[in-house]
Amino acid sequence: MSSKSSIRLTFVGTLFFFVFVTESVRINVTETRLNRVKLHLKKINKPSVKTIQSPDGDIIDCVHSHLQPAFDHPKLRGQRPLEPPLERPKGYNSSDERFETIQLWAELNEFCPEGTIPIRRTSEHDVLRANSIRRFGRKIRGVRHDTMSGGHEHAVAFVNGDQYYGAKASMNVWTPEVTDPNEFSLSQLWVTSGSFGNDLNTIEAGWQVSPELYGDGYPRFFTYWTTDAYQATGCYNLLCSGFVQTNSRIAIGAAISPRSSYNGQQFDIGVMIWKDPKHGHWWLQLGHGVLIGYWPSFLFTHLQKEASMIQFGGEIVNSRSRGYHTNTQMGSGHFADEGFGKAAYFRNLQVVDWDNSLLPLTNMHLLADHPNCYDIKAGKNNVWGNYIYYGGPGRNAGCQ
């Protein structure tokens, strides 16, 4: 055999060995990740007594309420959900909430048995869409509400400079376009305390469109919390131990139906978060007095006492994946000036004071990080009280 042939065979053999080893490593890494995903799913998908197939493809598991993920927390292990507080905040009146919330899975008129709660089942695909298992179900770190950070942009109304014990508002629900899978568009209430650096405590609830988290473009009812500025604590919905759900008819993370339409009928949801004066836990209510559950006070540091800021409005992530602002919409995808039936709104904005009383906002501030992309305007009348219109289309002639 010639020396050239020998060299050629050695090169081919080495190349084959390199490809084989590389492919083996890739397969092993994939298998390792899949095994980790399966272990994680086993942790968060609890055994169910009944399953319901939603028209949108979701699987809803009916899980014994004392076996939900919250009770994996060391301080809750072996306990059961608390009884609801006897009193709502003073001044609460459900008559201003015109529309019932309907979730797609509930259109079948099939619900979970008494003593169980409905939990949207997490799939392998859900987890694999995330950058890592550790980050699955969490917001990207670096979210700030006083400036743009990490691609996050806001159009919000807020109050600060006082002690707050909750907030309430009604918001109409839309289906905004989200351009890239790792972006989202949401509308929510924020109840916060601490600094935006490393010790921010926040409780959040509203609706969101998040293809990465849910795998589709439906607006979904969601919750969130963190006690360290989105670093290592907290999560969306029931994807970690934290929020304790008590309601057997609402699935957190499930799609909302119906939705508002441009120049058509408007559908909104009422959300109230308040601190129970007796036990100090933060309770969540949806719509006509429907209690969803609570965040135990021990989860937090600053929010064990009270909140220092309340915010209402929209947030999106702009990834600039193509080198310019994406077309991800906020709210209806239309600017605030277009008004009712066209722009997204929050109405009847209120806060809960030290005396557990609902009060209208005073000294309200408006913030739009990038008003050429998403803006906000406020008003007040006898029917809607304090209200805001907000949102926008994202990329346009003034938003590059």
Confidence of residue 287 (pLDDT cuts 50, 70, 90): confident
Flag whether 398 is in a domain: no
Same domain, 160 and 12: no
Specify the pLDDT at position 5. 45
Question: Mean pLDDT over residues 27-44, rounded?
Answer: 83
Pairwise CA distance, residues 106 & 88, whole Å: 26
Specify the pLDDT at position 367. 98
DSSP 118-134: EEEPPPHHHHHTSS-TT
Same domain, 23 and 111: no
Confidence of residue 30 (pLDDT cuts 50, 70, 90): confident
Specify the pLDDT at position 109. 86
Same domain, 36 and 56: no
Confidence of residue 278 (pLDDT cuts 50, 70, 90): very high
65-118 pLDDT tens trace: 999 999 999 999 999 999 999 889 999 876 555 445 589 998 888 899 999 999
Same domain, 39 and 160: no
Same domain, 116 and 16: no
Question: 3-class SS at 197?
Answer: coil
Provide the domain count of the chain: 2
Flag whether 397 is in a domain: no
Specify the pLDDT at position 174. 98
Structure tokens at 214: 């849910």
Specify the pLDDT at position 162. 96
Flag whether 240 is in a domain: yes
Flag whether 147 is in a domain: yes
Q: How many CA atoms lie within 13 A of 359 on its CB side?
A: 16
Question: Which of these is catalytic: 204, 212, 306, 338?
Answer: 204
Structure tokens at 339: 């008004």
Same domain, 16 and 119: no
Specify the pLDDT at position 296. 98
Same domain, 178 and 257: yes
200-243 pLDDT tens trace: 999 999 999 999 999 999 999 999 999 999 999 999 999 999 99
Same domain, 16 and 118: no
Flag whether 400 is in a domain: no
Decide: 249 and 118 in contact? Cβ < 8 Å: yes
What 8-state DSSP symbol labels residue 34?
A: H
Residue 50 vs residues 33, 117, 127, 185, 225: alpha-carbon distances, Å: 29, 10, 23, 32, 28
Whether residue 1 has pLDDT greater than 80: no
Flag whether 167 is in a domain: yes
**Nearest residue to 30 (alpha-carbon basis) of 41, 38, 20:** 38
Pairwise CA distance, residues 278 & 139, whole Å: 31
Instruction: State the DSSP H helix or E strand holding residue 313, giving kind and residue range, or none if neither.
Output: strand 307-317
Confidence of residue 6 (pLDDT cuts 50, 70, 90): very low
Structure tokens at 35: 């095994």
Q: What are phi and psi of 106, to 5 degrees?
A: -85, -5
Flag whether 16 is in a domain: yes
* Residue with the larger pLDDT of the pair 197 and 38: 38
Specify the pLDDT at position 93. 75
Cis peptide before 371 (omega within 30 of 0): no
Same domain, 18 and 66: no
Whether residue 10 has pLDDT greater than 50: no
Question: Mean pLDDT over residues 306-313, rounded?
Answer: 98
17: left (phi over 0), alpha (psi -120 to 50) or beta: alpha
Question: Which of these is catalytic: 97, 153, 183, 315?
Answer: 315
Specify the pLDDT at position 86. 85
Asked about 338 being catalytic, the answer comes back as no
Asked about 306 being catalytic, the answer comes back as no
Question: Mean pLDDT over residues 272-298, rounded?
Answer: 95
Flag whether 233 is in a domain: yes
120-130 pLDDT tens trace: 999 999 999 99
Same domain, 22 and 165: no
DSSP 52-80: EE-TTS-EEEEEEGGGSGGGGSTTTTT--
Instruction: State the DSSP H helix or E strand holding residue 6, giving kind and residue range, or none if neither.
Output: helix 3-44
Name the pTM for this structure: 0.89
* Domain interval for residue 255: 50-391
Whether residue 14 has pLDDT greater than 50: no
Whether residue 41 has pLDDT greater than 80: yes
Same domain, 239 and 111: yes
Same domain, 16 and 101: no
156-167 pLDDT tens trace: 999 999 999 999
